[in-house]
């Protein structure tokens, strides 16, 4: 069975092409599809891009909230979820996740240190770790801080059921090695 990623967004983007260049089939899941109770996609992982919480850039946040029970079931059945920065100061931007996350929006480059034992250890492997753009940090969360920038969490990992959630404020594509591993570790399951 082939490895498949769902990309939550309104249109195809450079990110979707990047995922496909990594050898992972990628399907765009629009906000309407995401929120529709009858939509059924089958993915190893679902990716929520930067800016999902800012209504100036995206209509994803209401759809993510509507889909939160399905997201939980997807994770419990072994799907993986990769979530980027909300790109807005909104304390409830991550309230659709099955665990609490507080995000502080502040854009600037940071030196990133990743935990060598986590699934995210290679997320910044393709970059100069001394100067990676981030759009914020996570001062409070119920996960493991898998990546730190200036002492603050910029990558969080949390296992939920058989799946894993990675939340990051890194404002760059993940490394090719990370995207390949993260998608392949997820079990293809219905969303």
Q: Domains along the chain?
A: 4-190 (3.40.50.880)
Mean pLDDT of 159-169: 97
Mean pLDDT of the chain: 94
- Determine the length of the chain: 191
Mean pLDDT of 120-148: 94
Confidence at residue 117, expressed as pLDDT on a 0 to 100 scale: 81
Mean pLDDT of 151-156: 96
Within 13-166, where are the H helices? 14-21, 31-35, 60-66, 68-76
Query: pLDDT > 90: what percent of the chain?
Result: 90
How far apart (Å, rounded) are the C-alpha atoms in residues 101 and 81? 14
Q: How confident is the model at residue 165 (pLDDT cuts 50, 70, 90)?
A: very high
How far apart (Å, rounded) are the C-alpha atoms in residues 68 and 183? 20
Model confidence over 177-189: pLDDT tens digits? 999 999 999 999 9
Q: How confident is the model at residue 1 (pLDDT cuts 50, 70, 90)?
A: low
Query: pLDDT > 70: what percent of the chain?
Result: 99
């Amino acid at each position: 069975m082939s490895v498949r990623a769902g990309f939550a967004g309104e249109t195809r983007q450079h990110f979707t092409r990047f995922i496909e260049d990594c050898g992972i089939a990628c399907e765009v899941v629009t906000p309407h599809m995401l929120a529709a109770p009858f939509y059924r996609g089958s993915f190893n992982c679902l990716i929520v891009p930067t800016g999902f919480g800012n209504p100036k850039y995206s209509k994803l946040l209401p759809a993510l909230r509507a889909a939160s029970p399905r997201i939980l079931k997807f994770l419990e059945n072994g799907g993986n979820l990769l979530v980027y920065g909300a790109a807005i100061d909104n304390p409830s931007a991550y309230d659709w996740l099955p665990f609490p996350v507080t995000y502080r929006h502040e854009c600037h480059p940071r030196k990133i240190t990743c935990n060598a034992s986590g699934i995210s250890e290679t997320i910044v492997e393709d970059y100069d770790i001394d100067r990676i753009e981030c759009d914020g940090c996570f001062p409070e969360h119920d996960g493991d801080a898998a990546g730190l920038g200036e002492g603050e969490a910029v990558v969080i990992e949390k296992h939920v059921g058989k799946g894993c959630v990675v939340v990051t404020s890194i404002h760059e594509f993940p490394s090719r090695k990370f995207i390949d591993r993260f998608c392949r570790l997820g079990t293809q399951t219905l969303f």
